[in-house]
Amino acid sequence: MSNVPEITDSHCHLDFPDFEGQLDQIIANAAEAGVTRMVTICTRLRNVPQVRAIAEAHDPVFFTAATHPMSAAEEPMATLDELLTLAQHPKFVGIGETGLDYHYTADSVAVQQESLRVHIAAARNTGLPLIIHSRDADDDMAAILAEEHAKGAFSCVMHCFSSGAELAKAALDLGFYLSMSGIAAFPKSQELRDIFATAPIDRILVETDAPYLAPPPHRGRRNEPAYTAHTARVGAGVFGMEYAEFAAQTQANFDTLFAKAAAWKAPI
């Protein structure tokens, strides 16, 4: 295992029922594949206790929290104070996932945008990276990110990036990161791979979004953090790099963006 290049699954959902009772094995599988860290994402603030407990019980796991845009209309509006309090936990390393999703929940555009701005304020105040979910909302997303960034800088990753070239450019121009999920490894995703290929290599992360979006050869089945390695191998090809070199670069990128996770030391 020591010869396997180390990578980080920058976005997964280990609290979902798909992994119930299996986390020790899931984390062992990840380690065997070289995935030595993972960030589990809480999508409803009322679920923070469960997600926080997973991070506290497993050294390789960090956590974030936010109100997912698809849940924004049915969950209480997050407050800045609430997010700032969560950020005091030593393994709380990002604000998200938040964002805009007009695919299934276009009827809640106004509340999604309000929620997004609250989360941006939390990222700006804490210095923690914002984790963005964006689907069928490219123009509004680019406009809000630019407008808010002009009010005060913050760092950000476009999680599971699968939007168009214009949003990619808008995000990169603001200094943000793009994250490759299993979608980037799908055979029919050449256009998306071409978008990634135009990005600076020091602005690329890898993730699973597990239990969703398993890359080949596991497509159609439950995803898990170990499978980050399949997407990362595709990523290496996109950038014309050896796998070990690409893995090391994405590790450095993660450490830069998620500096709190990089600095964390397990209690002795």
Q: Which tens digit of pLDDT belongs to each residue from 32-44?
A: 999 999 999 999 9
* 60 belongs to a structural domain: yes
Q: What local confidence, expressed as pLDDT, does residue 268 receive?
A: 74
* 2 belongs to a structural domain: no
Can you name the residues that pair with 75 across neighbouring β-strands? none
Q: What local confidence, expressed as pLDDT, does residue 95 receive?
A: 98
Q: What local confidence, expressed as pLDDT, does residue 38 receive?
A: 98
Q: Which domain CATH number covers 98?
A: 3.20.20.140
Per-residue pLDDT tens over the stretch 233-268: 999 999 999 999 999 999 999 999 999 999 999 887
User: From CA 105, how far away is CA 84, in angstroms rounded?
Assistant: 27
User: From CA 4, how far away is CA 240, in angstroms rounded?
Assistant: 19
* 268 belongs to a structural domain: no
Beta-carbon contacts of 226 under 8 Å, excluding residues fewer than 6 positions away, are: 26, 29, 30, 32, 33, 35
CA 35-37-40 angle, to 5 degrees, is 115
Percentage, residues of the chain above pLDDT 90: 98
Q: What local confidence, expressed as pLDDT, does residue 4 receive?
A: 95
C-alpha distances (whole Å) from 198 to each of 183, 204, 238 are: 17, 11, 10
Tally of domains in the chain: 1
User: From CA 31, how far away is CA 226, in angstroms rounded?
Assistant: 7
Q: Between helices 109-126 and 138-151, what is the axis angle to 10°? A: 40
User: From CA 106, how far away is CA 156, in angstroms rounded?
Assistant: 23
* 142 belongs to a structural domain: yes
In the predicted model, what is the mean pLDDT of the chain?
97
Count CB neighbours of 202 within 10 A: 11
* 173 belongs to a structural domain: yes
Q: Per the omega criterion (within 30 degrees of 0), is the bond before 217 cis?
A: yes
Mean pLDDT throughout 137-152? Answer: 98
* 191 belongs to a structural domain: yes
Per-residue pLDDT tens over the stretch 200-235: 999 999 999 999 999 999 999 999 999 999 999 999
220: left (phi over 0), alpha (psi -120 to 50) or beta: left
* 207 belongs to a structural domain: yes
Pairing state between β 7-12 and 35-42: parallel
Q: What local confidence, expressed as pLDDT, does residue 266 receive?
A: 82
Q: What local confidence, expressed as pLDDT, does residue 1 receive?
A: 45
Range of the domain at 66: 7-263
Q: What local confidence, expressed as pLDDT, does residue 140 receive?
A: 98
Q: Between helices 243-257 and 228-238, what is the axis angle to 10°? A: 110
Q: What local confidence, expressed as pLDDT, does residue 3 receive?
A: 87
User: From CA 195, how far away is CA 200, in angstroms rounded?
Assistant: 11
Can you name the residues that pair with 12 across neighbouring β-strands? 40, 210
* 107 belongs to a structural domain: yes
Q: What local confidence, expressed as pLDDT, does residue 2 receive?
A: 60
- pTM for this entry: 0.97
Per-residue pLDDT tens over the stretch 80-115: 999 999 999 999 999 999 999 999 999 999 999 999
Nearest to 158 by CA among 132, 127, 136: 132
Per-residue pLDDT tens over the stretch 163-197: 999 999 999 999 999 999 999 999 999 999 999 99
